[in-house]
RNA sequence: CGGGGAUUGGCGCAAUUGGCUAGCGUGCAUGGUUUGGGACCAUGAGGUUGCAGGUUCGAAUCCUGUAUCCCCGACCA
């Protein structure tokens, strides 16, 4: 992609209403643009990052048997009356034709349970797992912190259906491992911990995944030895590490990037969702649900992977793999070498953002590259050509090296 | 949802007790000089000051209403 043609521009001035580091850097870098409070447009750079996060999640969900579906954004309110959740104050309400009452779904238990019920009748149909990646709507009393707490946000939600609790427990552990795999691939595995969460009013057991970050909104209590934590809501009940029993828990700030619940039969009961077991007996279906928000995770990654110059994207989700800069492109030799390298990288299917702007000084291009945060920078300039090729520098390192234009295979 | 602050060219800001043609920076356009850490010169375009009323000879400025944004808190499948 040529930077000169990219929709979305960097800006020096900080948006006055950017309330957090992720909102500030993502807006300044041209990744997102706020529409209304808690609702964002994703520009090309931002959508590339979001899509990469989604695809990593998608691959890991597929690996554990998840089948991707897409459920609707809006649903009749009646389904919510069935579960008693129509009184939730985060629900967006709207009117359909003829005055029907509709809601914008803040989550999809009320949709997926009746949906599954249309196809599941026997123990032979269980277990099974479906997920979707879709935008959700929650009319938060107060949206804040950029992508961390919006009113419309992107969410992956996986639902599992089982014959009994034992099978639910088995799959619950599998999902835990899948989540760890996802955070590892997203570049935050080392700072994301499993947290024992409060059960809440309708789940007997749940966990959160918290990414440790000084800017985090949540406070958790971490056992550094076990890399396990418990959250504020249950610290009063349990003051020791759930794994080793240690009471040496460290108080740290964190951002919740995932949560998983054993729903048991709360929703299957509400919708009368039963199956026939081997003996022809009616049994209640056991359910689990597992959330992981790509948009929020994107914001969390910026919160914990940045420096004073800009974002430092992990390679796996960077919008492009290489940020190619041509300096002084009025010089024919520099221009032709830059264009040639750009073509070569594209032919080798390497994602490259090429700063081909003519009348922009070196300082501006470097500053923009640091702000955008692509992990690998390549510079072609008079100096680099005199030194034998192209200068290579990683975003998270200070040192640079000269690579020969003829031996780019090493880089690639 | 309670309390507080804010709203002025695209963005960030200024404008004294109500007083002259609403300024500055940045960005944008054109021309020129520049090109290794957000360069410089010149010229130019771009605003009925969120919106609706009101007070006044005169309103960005005062009053009322309203919308939106941000902060603190409460809330948070």
Asked if domains A13-307 and A320-407 share a fold, the reply is no
Banded pLDDT at A203 (limits 50, 70, 90): very low
A15 touches strand B (CB under 7 A): yes
What b/e string do you get for A154-167 counting C-beta neighbours within 10 Å, with b at 16 or more? bbbbbbbbbbbeeb
Give the pLDDT score at A254.
Answer: 94
Is A337 a residue whose pLDDT tops 60? yes
pLDDT band at A123 (very low <50, low <70, confident <90, very high): very high
Q: What percent of chain A has pLDDT over 90?
A: 86
**Out of A237-241, A267-271, A353-357, least confident range:** A237-241
Long-range contacts of A82-90 (CB under 8 A, 24+ apart): A82/A110, A82/A270, A82/A271, A83/A109, A83/A110, A83/A267, A83/A270, A83/A271, A84/A270, A85/A110, A89/A139, A89/A141, A90/A138, A90/A139, A90/A140
A333 touches strand B (CB under 7 A): no
Q: What is the C-alpha to C-alpha distance for residues A257 and A80, in angstroms, rounded to an integer? A: 26
CA–CA dist A158, A339 (Å, integer): 45
Protein CA at A328 to nucleotide C1' at B31, angstroms: 19
Judged against a pLDDT cut of 50, whether residue A356 lies above it is answered with yes
Predicted local distance difference test score (pLDDT) of residue A70:
98
Distance A146 CA to B14 C1' (A): 29
The answer to whether A49 CB sits below 7 Å from nucleic acid chain B is no
Digit-coded pLDDT (tens) for A69-90:
999 999 999 999 999 999 999 9
Rounded distance, CA A123 to CA A163, Å? 6
Superfamily of segment(s) A13-307 = Bira Bifunctional Protein; Domain 2 (3.30.930.10)
Tell me what pLDDT residue A410 has: 65
Nearest of A384, A409, A165, A294 to residue A401 by alpha carbon: A384
Report ipTM for this prediction. Answer: 0.94
Tell how far CA A375 is from the center of its chain. Answer: 19
> Is pLDDT at A412 greater than 70 in this prediction?
no
Nucleotide nearest to A400 (CA to C1'): B36
CA distance A375 to A79: 47
Question: Computed over its alpha carbons, how large is the radius of gyration of chain A?
Answer: 25
pLDDT at A411 over 70: no
pLDDT at residue A109 above 90? yes
Q: What are phi and psi of A12, to 5 degrees?
A: -75, -40
Question: In angstroms, how far is B32 C1' from A382 CA?
Answer: 23
Is any atom of nucleic acid chain B found less than 7 Å from the CB of residue A202?
yes
Q: Which CATH topology does A320-407 take?
A: Rossmann fold (3.40.50)
CA distances to A124, A146, A160, A214, A254 from A300, in Å: 41, 10, 27, 11, 9
Q: How confident is the model at residue A198 (pLDDT cuts 50, 70, 90)?
A: low
**Residue A136 CB lies within 7 Å of the nucleic strand B:** no
Distance in Å, residue A310 CA to nucleotide B29 C1': 29
Which residue has the closest alpha carbon to B12 C1'? A13
The residue ranges of every structural domain in chain A are 13-307, 320-407
Q: Is the CB of A221 under 7 A from strand B?
A: no
Distance A142 CA to B73 C1' (A): 11
Q: What is the mean pLDDT of chain A?
A: 94
Q: Give the residue carrying structure tokens 């998270």.
A: A396
Nucleotide showing the shortest C1' distance to residue A13 CA: B12
Q: For A187-201, A209-223, A368-382, which range has the lowest pLDDT when averaged over its residues?
A: A187-201
Q: Say what the pLDDT of residue A241 is.
A: 86
The answer to whether the beta carbon of residue A87 comes closer than 7 angstroms to any atom of strand B is no
Q: How far apart are CA A87 and CA A80, in angstroms?
A: 8
- Distance between CA atoms of residues A54 and A293, nearest Å: 9
Mean pLDDT for the stretch of residues A239-264: 90
Nucleotides of B under 7 A from a protein CB: 1-2, 10-13, 25-27, 33-39, 68-77
| A396-401 mean pLDDT | 95
Interatomic separation, CA of residue A35 and C1' of nucleotide B59, rounded (Å): 32
């Amino acid at each position: 992609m040529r930077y000169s043609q990219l929709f979305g521009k960097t800006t020096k001035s900080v948006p006055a209403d950017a309330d957090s580091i992720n909102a500030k850097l993502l807006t300044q870098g041209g990744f997102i643009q706020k529409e209304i409070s808690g609702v964002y447009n994703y520009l090309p750079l931002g959508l590339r990052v979001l899509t990469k996060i989604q695809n990593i999640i998608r691959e890991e969900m597929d690996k554990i048997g998840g089948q991707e579906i897409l459920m609707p954004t809006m649903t009749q309110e009646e389904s919510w009356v069935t579960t008693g959740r129509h009184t939730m104050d985060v629900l967006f309400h709207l009117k359909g034709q003829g005055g029907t009452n509709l809601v914008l779904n803040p989550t999809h238990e009320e949709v997926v349970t009746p949906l599954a019920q249309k196809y599941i009748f026997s123990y032979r149909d269980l277990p099974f797992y479906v997920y979707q990646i879709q935008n959700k709507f929650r009319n938060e009393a107060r949206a804040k912190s950029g992508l961390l707490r919006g009113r419309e946000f992107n969410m992956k939600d996986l639902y599992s259906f089982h014959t009994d609790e034992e099978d639910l427990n088995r799959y619950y552990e599998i999902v835990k491992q899948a989540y760890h795999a996802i955070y590892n691939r997203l570049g935050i595995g080392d700072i994301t911990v499993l947290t024992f969460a409060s059960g809440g009013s309708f789940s007997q057991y749940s966990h959160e995944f918290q990414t440790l970050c000084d800017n985090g909104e949540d406070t958790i209590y971490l056992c550094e030895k076990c890399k396990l934590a418990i959250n504020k809501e249950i610290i009063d009940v349990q003051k020791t590490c759930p794994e080793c029993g240690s009471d040496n828990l460290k108080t740290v700030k964190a951002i919740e990037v995932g949560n998983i619940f054993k729903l048991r039969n709360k929703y299957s009961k509400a919708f009368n969702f039963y199956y026939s077991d081997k003996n022809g007996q009616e049994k209640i279906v056991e359910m689990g649900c597992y959330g992981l928000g790509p948009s929020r995770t994107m914001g969390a990654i910026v919160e914990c992977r940045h420096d004073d110059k800009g974002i430092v994207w992990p390679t796996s989700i960077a919008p492009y793999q290489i940020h190619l800069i041509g300096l002084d492109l009025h010089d024919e030799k520099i221009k032709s070498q830059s264009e040639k390298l750009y073509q070569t990288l594209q032919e080798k299917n390497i994602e490259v953002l090429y700063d081909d702007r003519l009348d922009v000084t070196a300082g501006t291009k470097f500053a923009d590259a640091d702000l955008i945060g692509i992990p690998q920078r390549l510079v072609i300039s008079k100096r680099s050509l005199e030194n034998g090729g192209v200068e290579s520098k990683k975003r998270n390192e200070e040192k640079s090296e000269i690579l020969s234009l003829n031996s780019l295979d090493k880089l690639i």
